[in-house]
């Protein structure tokens, strides 16, 4: 579904940020990008919705080059969940969730019905939450709303950039279980950035381990555990908890 073809991003005096990335993310896959801080995983993610543009190579989305898509249309088909839980503070829960479907021209009654259904699905009673403002929510609740805002309009791909790293361990575990259940139900192609190998192992169909802007190994959690490509992969799995 998403094909990176010799993708390089070189915009600094210190050399390329990304170096000749070539891999494919399959439709319906939960694909996790992981690696040390500064390895390029978030940069790799941001190329998909063109928040950044590569300097060389191509990225294909459903067989068509990303650069050939209308940018607005591309982003309307791409859900995006950030660590910062970027809800609009002056808008209610219902208004935040309705943003993208309204931009896509969906019927308001249908949006409200779907919003109520999704709130119930993530354990938030609609009558209690629809008219709340973000300031009245906990961090875990705000992130649930952020996820619903990203998926309500059925995007073709969901991008998640360390969405749970700022949460307490209990909320983080709950949201990992939630996003795994939502992925299993909706089958949405998901690209997820984390620095936590335990999280990657729990969620991923395949893990892409990066270092210094390059891909070291792509495989299932078991493949990285039992057949590491090199000593760095072995060490990263062990020190990050993924060797369990």
The H or E element that residue 73 is part of is: helix 71-76
Task: With both helix axes pointing from N to C terminus, report the angle between 93-103 and 139-151 in degrees, rounded to the nearest 10.
Answer: 20
7 bridge partner residues: 21
pLDDT score for 167: 87
Q: Write out the two tokens for 190.
A: 């998901």
Q: How far is CA 105 from the centre of its chain?
A: 24
Could you count the other beta carbons within 10 Å of the beta carbon of residue 92?
18
- Give the closest residue to 24 by CA, choosing from 39, 43, 7, 46: 7
Whether the Cβ atoms of residue 152 and residue 117 lie closer than 8 Å to each other: no
Pairing of strands 78-82, 157-161: parallel
Task: With both helix axes pointing from N to C terminus, report the angle between 139-151 and 169-186 in degrees, rounded to the nearest 10.
Answer: 20
pLDDT score for 240: 64
Query: Whole-model pTM?
Result: 0.93
Q: What's the angle, vertex CA 104, arms to CA 4 and CA 127, rounded to 5? A: 110
pLDDT score for 84: 74
CA distance 58 to 68: 11
**For each of the chain's 244 residues, which pLDDT tens digit applies?**
999 999 999 987 677 899 999 999 999 999 999 999 999 999 999 999 999 999 999 999 999 999 999 999 999 999 999 877 789 999 999 999 999 999 999 999 999 999 999 999 999 999 999 999 999 999 899 999 999 999 999 999 999 999 998 888 998 999 999 999 999 999 999 999 999 999 999 999 999 999 999 999 999 999 999 999 999 999 998 876 555 5
Could you count the other beta carbons within 10 Å of the beta carbon of residue 241?
13
Size (the chain), residues: 244
In a 13 Å sphere around the CA of 48, the CA atoms on its Cβ side amount to: 29
Q: What is the DSSP string of 163-185?
A: TTTTS-HHHHHHHHHHHHHHHHH
């Amino acid at each position: 579904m998403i094909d990176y073809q010799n993708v390089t991003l070189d915009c600094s005096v210190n050399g390329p940020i990304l170096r000749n990335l070539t891999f494919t993310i399959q439709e319906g896959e939960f694909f996790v990008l992981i690696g040390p801080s500064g390895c390029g995983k978030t940069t790799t993610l941001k190329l998909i919705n063109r928040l950044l543009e590569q300097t060389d190579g191509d990225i294909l989305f459903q067989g068509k080059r990303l650069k050939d898509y209308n940018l607005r249309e591309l982003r309307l088909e791409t859900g995006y969940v950030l660590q910062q839980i970027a809800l609009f503070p002056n808008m209610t829960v219902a208004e935040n969730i309705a943003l993208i479907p309204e931009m896509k021209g969906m019927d308001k009654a249908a949006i409200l019905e779907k919003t109520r259904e999704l709130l119930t699905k993530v354990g938030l009673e609609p009558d209690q939450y629809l008219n709340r403002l973000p300031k009245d929510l906990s961090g875990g609740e705000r992130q649930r709303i952020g996820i619903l805002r990203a998926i309500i309009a059925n995007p073709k791909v969901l991008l998640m950039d360390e969405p749970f790293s700022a949460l307490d361990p209990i909320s983080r575990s709950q949201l990992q279980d939630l996003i795994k259940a939502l992925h299993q139900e909706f089958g949405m192609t998901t690209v997820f950035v984390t620095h936590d190998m335990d999280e990657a192992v729990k969620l991923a169909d395949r893990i892409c381990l990066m270092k210094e802007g390059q891909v070291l190994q792509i495989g299932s959690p078991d493949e990285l555990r039992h057949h590491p490509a090199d000593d760095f992969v072995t060490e990263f799995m062990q020190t990050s908890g993924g060797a369990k």
